[in-house]
Structures are given as structure tokens and as C-alpha cells.
């Protein structure tokens, strides 16, 4: 299980503030500031989302129904990857549906009361120094 604290949306993964991971039954671990800086640099260079807007054009506004409900969304089409993405700017994380040749994602649910799968206080990674 991974938790990534981002400033706003998945396209900003290169600006992640904190990453906590819990491998199976082992203790949860928090990545220290030095490692976060290295990871942010790699994400900025190699992020799939880094060039997500290349070849994308607005296809229009339309109603889209997903398991979480029906939304008035902006549909964007990506000619390069022959994919479509429906976004609702007022929703957290914006995206409610995305489809392409090899994938189909839909918002399953949303609301209040979500609970983290990581319930313990994460430990600092050994030998890496404290997080900042």
C-alpha cells in the first residue's frame, strides 16, 4: 500500500510532498526528505503524466455515467494514444473516466469518511535520516 501526498491532482506527482508505504505485514515507512528530492527529480523526468497533454484536444462537454454517478464533464480526446478522458474540474482529482486501447477506468465512488489502509504511525526509513 502506498500513500502519496500531492498538492492537487495526479498530474502533479513530481511535486509529491510525502510518500508512505507499507509492504504487507511489515511496518509502514516514510521516505525521508533527501529521498523525496531524488524521487521528485525522477518523476519530473520520467512521469507518464508529464506529457499527458500532448495531442489532446477538447472534444466537448457531455454527460458521462460511471459507478459513482452521472456527471457533466469535459471530454478530451488524445489523437496520439486514441484515448478519451472525462474531467469535472470541481471534483477532487478531476478525472471521472478514461478509456483507451488498453485501459478503461471509471470513478467507482466518492464522498466523505474514507479511511486510510495505513493506520499506524510510519517509521523513518533506517539509515536515511529524518523527513522534512
pTM of the full structure: 0.58
Share of the chain above pLDDT 90, in %: 34
pLDDT tens, position by position, 48-84: 555 556 778 999 999 999 999 999 999 999 998 899 9
The whole-chain average pLDDT of the chain stands at: 81
Domain limits at 30?
A: 2-49
Q: How far apart are CA 89 and CA 42, in angstroms?
A: 27
Residues 45 and 82 in one domain: no
Residues 22 and 34 in one domain: yes
Residues 31 and 61 in one domain: no
Q: How far apart are CA 64 and CA 5, in angstroms?
A: 28
Residues 83 and 60 in one domain: yes
Domain membership of residue 121 (yes or no) is: no
Q: Read off the pLDDT of each residue in 98-112 and give the average, rounded to a whole number.
A: 88
Domain membership of residue 92 (yes or no) is: yes
Q: Alpha helix (H) ranges present in 1-47?
A: 33-46
pLDDT of residue 2 exceeding 90? no
Q: Read off the pLDDT of each residue in 34-60 and give the average, rounded to a whole number.
A: 71
Q: Read off the pLDDT of each residue in 4-29 and give the average, rounded to a whole number.
A: 76
Q: How would you write 71-94 as a 3-class SS string?
A: EEEEEEEECCCCEEEEECCCCCCC
Q: Which of 50, 52, 93, 55 is nearest to 73 (CA)?
A: 93
Residues 99 and 57 in one domain: yes
Query: What is the band of 18 on the pLDDT scale with cuts at 50, 70, 90?
Result: confident
Domain membership of residue 129 (yes or no) is: no
- Look at the chain and report how many structural domains it folds into: 2
Q: How far apart are CA 83 and CA 56, in angstroms?
A: 9
Q: How far apart are CA 97 and CA 56, in angstroms?
A: 15
Amino acid at each position: 500500500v502506498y500513500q502519496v501526498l500531492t498538492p492537487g491532482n495526479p498530474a502533479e506527482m513530481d511535486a509529491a510532498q510525502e510518500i508512505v508505504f507499507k509492504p504487507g505485514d511489515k511496518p509502514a515507512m516514510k521516505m525521508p526528505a533527501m529521498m523525496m528530492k531524488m524521487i521528485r527529480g525522477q518523476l519530473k523526468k520520467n512521469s507518464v503524466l508529464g506529457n499527458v497533454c500532448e495531442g489532446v484536444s477538447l472534444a466537448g462537454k457531455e454527460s458521462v455515467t460511471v459507478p459513482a454517478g452521472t456527471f457533466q464533464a469535459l471530454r478530451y480526446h488524445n489523437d496520439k494514444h486514441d484515448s478519451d478522458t472525462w474531467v469535472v474540474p470541481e471534483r477532487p482529482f478531476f478525472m471521472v473516466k478514461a478509456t483507451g486501447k488498453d485501459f478503461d477506468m471509471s470513478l467507482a465512488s466518492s464522498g466523505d469518511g474514507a479511511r486510510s489502509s495505513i493506520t499506524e504511525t510510519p517509521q523513518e526509513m533506517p539509515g536515511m535520516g529524518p523527513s522534512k
